[in-house]
Amino acid sequence: MAPMDTRTLQALVEQSHAAHFKRTEPAERMRDLAHQIAELVHFRDDAHLAQEAGDAAWALLQLLNERGLDLDQVVRATCARLDARATGKRVCLLGTSANPITNAHLTMGLEILALTEVDEVWYWLAGQHPWGKPLMPGAHRLEMARLATARYPRLKVYDLEITRGDEIYATHRETAPILRDYVLPAFPGYRFSWVMGSDVAQSFHTWGGADWMAANLDVYVIHRLGYDFDKPASILADPRHVYLRDNIVTSNISSTLVRERGRHYEQEKIMALVPDVVWDYLVAHRLLDPGALQA
């Protein structure tokens, strides 16, 4: 039998599934795939391994079919991530609660890409607000951020605190130790930097671990109107830290402004504040209702 390309192989699996199993729910497909993968460890010989591997590959390909994903693309993405670890991809982290993500968040990320040499900007979503302010549920904030950045290949969303918050917050409450103990070890070949607005930079020295961040990361400060930053007198005085003050596009849009203007669900009041996909999500999940925020 002649070898098939990946799309033809996925189509064959889809036809096979339709003929033998009809429709399955995502949870059922996940359980099936987990079972097939588990069976691989019990193989007796190469013939048995081929059978079990075929079952596992069939289940995986059908999962991709059901989620609208292409095997060629997801494998290439994995290869790219591995190659990036070896070549030292330059990633700038932008910490935010994204409550919700706004056009200002997107502008900051795109300006970093335009004015620096970083390869990607990652929006690092806080699992909890550092000062205890109520937030929209993490899963919703994460999904809106992913929707908003989907059209920009070099803008990513980093979900570490959303997905592992219970584990992390048991021992870590500050950004610096989370970076040190979780982020850097997970991406040993990456070169990370940090970005913040000039308003935040004025109190950066009070952060727990700020000295460690200044010593181990490059920091970009983006100027915000009304907040001049005295870089030479700060802990970011080193020339490798950059204050982007001139010829930079900035915005005073805030998540608070979005929630205040949008509380009556009148789109024309926040059309300039958030992408359409975020507005649609806010409406669909009633996230601008008074009780939508959680402590």
pLDDT at position 145 is 96
* DSSP single-letter state for residue 224: B
pLDDT at position 85 is 59
pLDDT at position 242 is 95
Q: What is the pLDDT of residues 131-187, one digit of tens each?
A: 568 899 999 999 999 999 999 999 999 999 998 888 888 888 889 999 999 999 989
pLDDT at position 47 is 87
The yes-or-no verdict on residue 130 having pLDDT over 70 is: no
Asked: is 88-284 a CATH 3.40.50.1220 domain? The reply is: no
As a whole number, mean pLDDT of residues 122-131 equals 81
The yes-or-no verdict on residue 289 having pLDDT over 90 is: yes
pLDDT at position 79 is 79
Q: Report the C-alpha gap between 15 and 295 in whole angstroms.
A: 48
Task: Write down the H helix ranges in 96-157.
Answer: 103-115, 138-149
pLDDT at position 86 is 60
Q: Is the pTM of this model over 0.75?
A: no
Q: pLDDT class for 62, splitting at 50, 70, 90?
A: confident
The yes-or-no verdict on residue 54 having pLDDT over 70 is: yes
pLDDT at position 254 is 92
Neighbours of 260 (CB within 10 A): 12
Which range has highest mean pLDDT (25-29, 133-137, 225-229, 241-245)?
241-245
The yes-or-no verdict on residue 232 having pLDDT over 90 is: yes
Average predicted confidence (pLDDT) for the chain: 89
pLDDT at position 265 is 95
Q: What is the pLDDT of residues 4-32, one digit of tens each?
A: 888 888 999 889 888 888 777 777 878 88
- Within 8 A by CB and 6+ apart from 58, the residues are 13, 16, 36
pLDDT at position 271 is 95
Q: Report the C-alpha gap between 104 and 148 in whole angstroms.
A: 11
Sheet with 218-222: list strands edge to edge. 155-158, 120-125, 90-96, 191-197, 218-222, 242-244
- The domain spans of the chain are 6-75, 88-284
The yes-or-no verdict on residue 129 having pLDDT over 70 is: no
Taking CA atoms, 176 is separated from 162, 180, 217, in Å, by: 17, 6, 10
As a whole number, mean pLDDT of residues 104-118 equals 95
Pairing status of strand 90-96 against strand 191-197: parallel
The yes-or-no verdict on residue 35 having pLDDT over 70 is: yes
Specify burial of residue 163 (Cβ count, 10 A radius: 0-12, 13-18, 19+).
Answer: middle
- What values do phi and psi take at 276, rounded to 5? -55, -40
pLDDT at position 131 is 57
End-to-end Cα, the chain, rounded Å: 60
